[in-house]
Amino acid sequence: MVAAITSPTRPADLWQLSGPEPVRLTALNDGLLKELDLSEPETVAVASTDEVAVEAWIHRPPASAPSLGDPGPGLLYIHGGPMTQYGYGFFDEFQMAAAEGFTVIAGNPRGSDGYGEEWARCIIGGLGQRDWDDVMAIADHLAARPDIDENRIGIGGGSYGGFMTAWAIGHTDRFRAALVERAVTNWETFVGTTDIRFFVAPYLNATVEDDVDAIRHQSPITYAANATTPTLIIHSEEDWRCPIEQGEQLFAALRHLG
What are the pLDDT digits (tens) for 18-74? 889 999 999 999 999 999 999 999 999 999 999 999 999 999 999 999 999 999 999
pLDDT, position 139: 98
Close Cβ partners of 4 (under 8 Å, ≥ 6 residues apart): 12, 13, 14, 15
Residue in 214, 202, 91, 112 with CA at minimum distance from that of residue 164: 112
**178 strand-pairing partners:** 155, 231
pLDDT, position 221: 98
Q: Which residues of the chain have pLDDT under 70?
A: none
Judge whether 57 and 106 are in contact, CB under 8 Å: yes
Give yes or no for a cis peptide into 62 (omega within 30° of 0). Answer: no
pLDDT, position 144: 98
Q: What pTM value is reported for the model?
A: 0.95
- Look up residue 20 and give its amino acid: P
- Between CA 155 and CA 171 the distance in angstroms is 13
Q: Domains of the chain (ranges plus CATH)?
A: 1-36 (no CATH), 37-257 (3.40.50.1820)
> What phi, psi does 154 have (nearest 5°)?
-105, 165
pLDDT, position 19: 85
